[in-house]
Amino acid sequence: MIMGFSLILHIICLTERIDGNRLLGDPVEYIRDFFSNYVLMSAIVGWFSAQLIKVIIELFNKEKKSLIRVLFSTGGMPSSHSSAVVSLCIACAIGEGLSSPFFAVTLVLAGVVMIDASGVRYETGKQAKIINRITKELFSGNAEEINSGLKELVGHTPFQVVMGAALGIIVAVAMAFAMGVL
């Protein structure tokens, strides 16, 4: 992951050099540019907001899980994937306009991600529950033969996806006001 981040920074530096805007400028400027990127920050805050809501919901859950694990898990209410991509899409619409190719690409991306979250990934989670139950029944005599099992919470119900999308819209609009875009 660090190598990937390093490669991205290297490409940015080369692009800056080719573009002529800056020649390996001050790293502080790159950090400032990164955090003042309205579209990117909207997506990040959209994801983080959904994950934080999952942690808050978990506080009231009878089956206690590690809150750190919940913060970085997939599945559950609301969909952080939907929140992030819808926030990204709405931020592109606000920042670049509805006729922008950026908006078009993010709209298609949002559709694909949300359909996948409530379709394929949700069905995968249902299958994992059944496989885990069968495995537990088959190996009930020897607990060591059963590993931790398949992850069951990988997708979302349509309601969770819609709630994530609604959160994404709210976040993008709030970030537009907070960052002075609107």
Q: What is the pLDDT of residue 7?
A: 59
For 128, the token pair is: 């994992």
Q: What is the pLDDT of residues 62-117, one digit of tens each?
A: 777 766 776 777 777 888 899 999 999 999 999 999 999 999 999 999 999 888 88
Cα separation, 58 vs 77, whole angstroms: 10
Domain count, the chain: 2
d(CA 182, CA 180): 5
Whether the predicted pLDDT of 18 surpasses 50: no
- pLDDT of 42 reads 96
Residues 29 and 46 in one domain: no
Q: Do 51 and 93 fall into the same domain? A: yes
pLDDT tens track for 130-171: 766 776 766 665 555 555 555 555 566 888 889 999 999 999
Dist. CA 83–CA 168, nearest whole Å: 4
Same-domain pairing of 164 and 104 = yes
Residues 65 and 93 in one domain: yes
- Domain presence at residue 136: no
Residues 65-71: contacts with CB under 8 Å, at least 24 apart: none
Q: 89 and 79: one domain?
A: yes
Is pLDDT above 50 for 177? Answer: yes
Pair (29, 41) in one structural domain? no
Do 106 and 92 touch, CB atoms closer than 8 A? yes
The DSSP element (H or E) to which 161 belongs, if any, is: helix 158-178
Structural domain contains residue 97: yes
Q: Which two tokens stand for residue 101?
A: 């190719």
* Predicted pLDDT of residue 70: 67
What are the tens digits of pLDDT across the range 25-74? 677 888 888 899 999 999 999 999 999 998 888 887 777 776 677 677 77
* DSSP assigned state of 144: G
